[in-house]
Amino acid sequence: MELITPELGLIFWQTLIFLILLALLAKFAWKPILGSLREREQGIEDALRQADRAKAEMQSLKADNEKLLAEARRERDQMLKEGQAMAAQIVEQAKTTASEEAARVTQQARESIQQEKNQALAEVRNTAAQLSVDIAERLLRRELTDPSAQQKLVDEYLKDVKLN
């Protein structure tokens, strides 16, 4: 029963040993333990700050990337519009050039056809005139060889001529 009701001497020695142990722990163990706890606490706080900074930096990078993507899309769309406008302009210019060339070729063809037509008509007239002269010459030769035919021809011409 001595353990349940301790004596004054036992309490004294237990208190003395406890105070010595407490002093030794305070001098040698608590400072390093508290220092390592502070270091660990500081390390955790630093890690949290770094994580927050990294998170903010990641958000900033993400926003920058989105801006760059939006800018790239806008530039791509602008390039596509410019390309389409340029293609439309080239097509329109080609159509205009083709229609002008077609009109020029058509006009040249008309002029060439008119020129050839005029030459053909002139040739037909010359041929007709030459044939008329040849026929008249043959008729006159034939009729002029016969004296009665000559008289008959003179009479016909005189009938056709009216005297005033």
Break the chain into its structural domains and give their ranges: 48-159
Percent with pLDDT over 70 in the chain: 89
Mean pLDDT across the stretch 143-149? 72
* Gap between the Cα atoms of 18 and 11, Å rounded: 10
Give me the chain's average pLDDT, please: 86
Considering the entire predicted model, what is its pTM? 0.41
pLDDT of residue 115: 94
- Tell me: the pLDDT tens digits for 72-97? 999 999 999 999 999 999 999 999 99
Average pLDDT over residues 55-74: 94
> Is the pLDDT score of 155 beyond 90?
no
Residue 164's pLDDT is: 46
HEC assignment per residue over 1-27: CCCCCCCHHHHHHHHHHHHHHHHHHHH
HSE, side-chain direction, 13 A CA sphere, residue 107: 6
Q: How confident is the model at residue 161 (pLDDT cuts 50, 70, 90)?
A: low
